[in-house]
Amino acid sequence: MAFGLSLVERINRARADLRLGVPIVLSGPTGAAVVMAAETATADRLDALRAPCLVLAITRYRAETLKARPYDGDLARIIVPHDGGLSWLRAMADPADDLRHPMKGPFLCARDGKADLHRTAIALVKTAQLLPAALVLENPPAGLIDGAELTELPFGLLADALAQETQLSPVVNARLPIVASQAGRVHIFRPRDGGEEHYAIEIGQPDRAKPVLARLHSACFTGDVLGSLKCDCGPQLNAALAQMGQEGAGVLLYLNQEGRGIGLANKMRAYSLQDQGFDTVEANHRLGFEDDERDFRIGAGLLRQMGFAQVRLLTNNPRKVAMLDTHGLKVVERVALRVGETAQNAHYLATKAAKSGHLL
Ligand SMILES: Nc1nc2c(ncn2[C@@H]2O[C@H](COP(=O)(O)OP(=O)(O)OP(=O)(O)O)[C@@H](O)[C@H]2O)c(=O)[nH]1
Ligand SMILES: [Zn+2]
């Protein structure tokens, strides 16, 4: 069975399928369910799935915006109406036109039976960085999936597998002199689950026996690369590296968790909603996401793997401090990082302080 796929490998295949618009199958002892991401569904595949019990699973945040009943607490199961076509589906998943077409209901929401399968379907779609909305057809007719060669996942093992801490392996490291320091070194780490690679920029040779000046920086293409004035990421990145350069030692983790973990496409959807007047937290919620979808365990794991046990953490985000503390890193000091305030990001920073607990 050398070529038999492990669960992690199958989950990754499923993720790629969902991005392609290909359905996947979740199977358990009581039967199977077909799952397809709303964002990438095609008209013919939606028609193939059509049945009276076809459900669109969305998170409670999206349900609140749509005024649908989240009977399952954290999610709602909306029965797909018989005339609900692709444009209905897209409008349910994507809030871009909510303001132009505010009333999409009334909706019929399922409340019988369990929602575990739907919860897992949404979690899978999220990890594919698609809009968090999934079509779920339980007990599909045999003819629909037989011979279709769809990726099949054992439903019972999925929730645990998805919640597991990402294991990262070092790939390579090489010297990289940068403006902040001649003694820079970039390390590349690759997750064993086929997900995003993450990077560590080590400045100097930090003493592993002492607290290291550290930053967990989340990727921000718009801020780090383009010099966006909507956030403070670019100046924070440069200021953190500059301080490490001045002190002669430090480590900056560049975590590929763009858009607080929702991916660049979804972040730009959030920006488009911000253009309609919503703040950064409201925009995430209207899309159906939590305000922060990042897994900070990745940063903790990387620091531990690099031999660090204590940090002086450059951040204004108390959640980062708390997460490191609970995952084996002692934060001996929080070092404030307040740079890059502009007229354009004042509201964004104020929202993070008011709603996400950021320290001023
Ligand atoms: N979803 C979403 N993500 C955003 C928005 N603005 C910036 N980001 C992302 O937010 C992340 C910024 O994270 P960090 O720089 O770690 O900031 P933080 O959590 O405020 O913590 P500190 O900077 O350490 O204080 C990056 O991944 C950005 O891409 C936004 O309006 N919506
Ligand atoms: Zn940014």
* Catalytic member of 292, 304, 325, 334: 292
The annotation status of 219 as a binding-site residue, yes or no, is yes
The annotation status of 138 as a binding-site residue, yes or no, is no
Predicted local confidence at residue 293, as pLDDT: 96
**What whole-number distance in Å separates Cα of residue 237 and Cα of residue 339?**
10
Closest ligand to the CA of 220:
1
Kindly give the parts of the chain with pLDDT less than 70: 103, 360
- Confidence check on the interface: ipTM exceeds 0.90, yes or no: yes
Predicted local confidence at residue 346, as pLDDT: 83
* Catalytic member of 116, 294, 304, 334: 294
Predicted local confidence at residue 31, as pLDDT: 87
The annotation status of 309 as a binding-site residue, yes or no, is no
Q: Which of 47-77 are b and which e, b meaning 16 or more Cβ less than 10 Å from the residue's Cβ? A: ebbebeebbbbbbbbbbbbbebbbebeebbb
Domain architecture of the chain: domains with CATH:
7-161 (3.90.870.10), 168-257+294-356 (3.40.50.10990)
Sheet holding 250-255, edge to edge: 168-175, 184-191, 198-203, 250-255, 212-218, 310-314, 330-335
Q: Measured from the CB, is residue 351 less than 6 Å from ligand 1?
A: no
Handedness of CA 65, 70, 75, 79 (dihedral sign): negative
292 catalytic, yes or no?
yes
Instruction: Dump pLDDT digits (tens) for 129-182.
Output: 999 999 999 999 989 999 899 999 999 999 999 999 999 999 999 999 999 999
**What whole-number distance in Å separates Cα of residue 73 and Cα of residue 63?**
10
> Which residues have C-beta within 8 Å of that of residue 249, sequence separation ≥ 6?
203, 204, 205, 206, 207, 212, 213
Predicted local confidence at residue 53, as pLDDT: 94
Closest ligand 1 atom, CA of 289? 1
Tokens representing residue 78 in the block: 């909306």
The pTM score is 0.95
Q: Measured from the CB, is residue 219 less than 6 Å from ligand 1?
A: yes
Which residue's CA lies nearest to atom 5 of ligand 1?
A: 259
Predicted local confidence at residue 226, as pLDDT: 98
Q: Measured from the CB, is residue 270 less than 6 Å from ligand 1?
A: yes
Closest ligand 1 atom, CA of 258? 27
Spatial CA neighbour of 24 closest among 110, 108, 127:
127
